[in-house]
Amino acid sequence: MKPNVVVIGAGIVGLGMARALSIKGASVTVIERNSYAIGASIRNFGMVWPIGQPDGPLYERAMLTRSIWKELCLEAGIWNDPKGSLHLAYSELEMNVLDQFHSSVQGPRKCTLLDSSSALRLSSAIVSNGLRGALYSPDEMILDSPKAIKTLPNYLEEKYGVKFLWNSHVNHVETGKVHIGQLEMSFDEIYICNGPDFENLFPEEYINLPITKCKLQMMRMGVQPENWRLGPSLCGGLSLTHYASFKSAGESLEPLKKFIQQEMPEYVKWGIHVMVSQNSSGELIIGDSHEYGLTHDPFDKEFINQYILAYLKKFARFQNEHITHTWNGTYTKMTDGSTELILHPLPGVTVVNGLGGAGMTMALGLTHQLVLG
């Protein structure tokens, strides 16, 4: 008889758990308090971003996630754009980091160090003035995350028979039982994937844990004319100090960090690094900032958006730069350097959380490894 399993939360972590548990042979129910996922899983660039993960198990997990996404995109008809990424360098300090990172690359990575002419051929959006060179990685792919996350439940329902209970708020969990108001449901195993709403269930478990929340601000530019496409996603030099993978650049990273701290203190204060991707409609997704704490102002800070746009203009320009949407999102973040949080507060109850801003890049691989090995 199939195990009867429930997953609480229909974001990318919860959907990843539902997929993996179904493949293992469980009968899966997903409970989501909203009528569809509206959290961090849809408020992002849509980037599957192995370039940001350090060599070893985390990079391998990112590449596993990428392969699962490719399978899901093919089977469920989800749009994707596997054009890779370009990290652009406009100073000697930035170019040194790219050079040292490229020299340190291990195993299956296929990064290429480019001169300015070669980089400019990959995207007409790149600002040519002052460009020293770039690092190209073919691993990255873009999804239209709001559309992808909406499509996956139907796919999981049709392929594996996963049941979805929408607009259903779980207010209590015990071994073998889930409570939705006065309704009690029984399950063999319970998985909680509730992201930044982690205090809603087992709040006592989180009191002494190194966990916080990160608020980020993002924007969208309108559809570009004549079906113009960006090519690879583009990143400025600030991203070299943001992603853990670039720590392998060694001593070359410190002078860049020092320069940014001295010359751009507001960018450091608000955790700003600037990237741009393009969705299926041709709109450009731009961001982002990082504010940490358990409680956040629900409103966007306009000056942060202006900092982001000012820095973007240093490395990319577009025919249509009209901002059509601004928003913010919140995700959980481990403050001790951990890349995920796995808890077992009761027998038969597992919490999967704390992936930081890497949900689209890591969740499908992590859940696959947790369930299927």
pTM above 0.85, yes or no: yes
Q: Say yes or no: 277 and 346 in one domain.
A: no
Q: Say yes or no: 242 and 131 in one domain.
A: yes
Task: Give the closest residue to 219 by CA, choosing from 123, 120, 309.
Answer: 309
Q: Say yes or no: 306 and 363 in one domain.
A: no
Mean predicted lDDT score pLDDT of the chain:
97
Q: Are 131 and 120 in contact (CB under 8 A)?
A: yes
- Alpha carbon distance 52, 69 (integer Å): 17
Q: How many other C-beta atoms are found inside a 10 Å radius of the C-beta of residue 258?
A: 11
Beta carbons within 8 Å of 302's beta carbon, 6+ residues apart: none
Q: Say yes or no: 274 and 182 in one domain.
A: no
Instruction: Give residue 357's pLDDT band: very low, low, confident or very high (50, 70, 90).
Output: very high
What confidence score (pLDDT) does residue 108 get?
84
**pLDDT > 90: what percent of the chain?**
98
Give the strands of the sheet with 4-8, arranged side by side.
163-165, 27-31, 4-8, 189-192, 349-353, 341-346
Strand 80-81 versus strand 141-143 pairing type: antiparallel
What confidence score (pLDDT) does residue 1 get?
84
Q: Say yes or no: 153 and 128 in one domain.
A: no
Q: Say yes or no: 248 and 321 in one domain.
A: yes
What confidence score (pLDDT) does residue 106 get?
75
Q: Say yes or no: 325 and 346 in one domain.
A: no
Q: What is the CATH number of the domain that holds 12?
A: 3.50.50.60
Q: Say yes or no: 266 and 122 in one domain.
A: yes
Question: In terms of C-beta distances under 8 Å and separation of at least 24 residues, what long-range contacts does 103-110 make, across chains too?
Answer: 104/248, 104/249, 104/250, 105/55, 105/248, 106/55, 107/55, 107/59, 108/63, 109/55, 109/59, 109/137, 109/139, 110/137, 110/138, 110/139
At how many degrees (to 10) do helices 145-160 and 57-76 cross?
A: 70
Does 81 score more than 90 pLDDT?
A: yes
Q: Are 61 and 369 in contact (CB under 8 A)?
A: yes
190 lies in some domain? yes
Q: Say yes or no: 219 and 147 in one domain.
A: no
96 lies in some domain? yes
Nearest-5° Cα angle at 155, 281 to 29: 130
Does 205 score more than 90 pLDDT?
A: yes
Task: Give the closest residue to 43 by CA, choosing from 371, 357, 259.
Answer: 357
80 lies in some domain? no
Region 216-243: what's the mean pLDDT? 97
258 lies in some domain? yes
Residue range of the domain that includes 24:
1-74+142-209+340-373
Give 290's DSSP letter.
Answer: -
Which 3 state secondary structure label does DSSP give 164? strand
Torsion angle, alpha carbons of 76, 231, 145, 269, to 10: 160
155 lies in some domain? yes
- Alpha carbon distance 183, 231 (integer Å): 50
Number of domains in the chain: 2
Strand 341-346 versus strand 349-353 pairing type: antiparallel
13 lies in some domain? yes
Region 345-359: what's the mean pLDDT? 97
Residue 344 identity: H
79 lies in some domain? no
Q: Say yes or no: 319 and 349 in one domain.
A: no
Q: How does pLDDT run across 141-193, given as a tens digit for each residue?
A: 999 999 999 999 999 999 999 999 999 999 999 999 999 999 999 999 999 99
Q: What is the CATH number of the domain that holds 255?
A: 3.30.9.10
Q: Say yes or no: 230 and 309 in one domain.
A: yes
88 forms beta bridges with: 134
Q: Say yes or no: 155 and 70 in one domain.
A: yes
Q: How does pLDDT run across 27-40, given as a tens digit for each residue?
A: 999 999 999 999 99
